[in-house]
Amino acid sequence: MLTARKLLQTKHHDVGLSLRGILRGFGLKVGPATERSFAGRIRELVADHPTLTTVAEALLAARAALGEQLRQMDKRLRDQAREDQRARLLMTTPGVGVIVALTFVSAIDDPGRFRSSKAVGAHFGLTPRKYQSGETDVTGRISKIGDATVRTVLYEAANIILTRPVKGSALKSWAARLAARAGMRKAKVALARKLAVVLHRMLADGTPFAASKAAAA
């Protein structure tokens, strides 16, 4: 269901971008538009172009159908999250919603297959590469091995915690201090890695989110 949702989301986005690209080729710029105003803006631009109107209506109809299916899939996933005790547990964490919780639960499956929570960050490619030879010791970018979907949703959750008002100020404060020293991008990656560890520990222990414990080194 998560894979199907991602496909619907991607295609819905692609059709919107294609519409913008087609109109741009005729000197018509859509500009900023919300989901609700997008179709009206497109129709406004192509009103005096019969051929463009035909093209636009076909693509708008396809986009609307994809959007409706995406909304239905989101509803089913919300229902599933409400019925899943593990997902509800993870959703006590700031920044972790239905998609993040279900994605992480489905990827972890059995928390006991990891010897320690610290191994989860490396499993999903959120730890830096290391090169050591003689006196050389270089720390590179994250390895990006493992499930890219999990890595993406954890990064998005980290972005929400750092950039929006959320509960769990201790965890946000920890990430903000890191951002001041190392930059926002590195802080988001580090926070995503910490979230992987924290969420696994929550699943393993069956305990809800505790901000003070999560922000500990």
| 83-97: pLDDT as tens digits | 999 999 999 998 899
Query: In this predicted structure, what is the pLDDT of residue 137?
Result: 39
Average pLDDT over residues 43-59: 96
State how far the Cα of 206 lies from the Cα of 84, in Å rounded to an integer: 13
Show me where the domains of the chain are located.
2-83, 85-214
Q: Pick the residue with more confidence: 56 or 95?
A: 56
Yes or no: say if 109 and 118 are a contact pair by the CB < 8 Å rule. Answer: no
Token digits of residue 123: 């499993």
Q: Is the pLDDT of residue 46 over 90?
A: yes
Q: What is the mean pLDDT of residues 102-120?
A: 92
pTM (2 d.p.) = 0.82
Q: Contact, 59 vs 15, CB < 8 A? A: yes
Average pLDDT score over residue span 127-152 = 63
Type of residue numbered 38: F
Q: Extract the tokens encoding 174.
A: 């920890």
What is the pLDDT at residue 35? 93
Phi, psi of 80 (to 5 degrees): -65, -40
pLDDT of 145 strictly over 60: yes
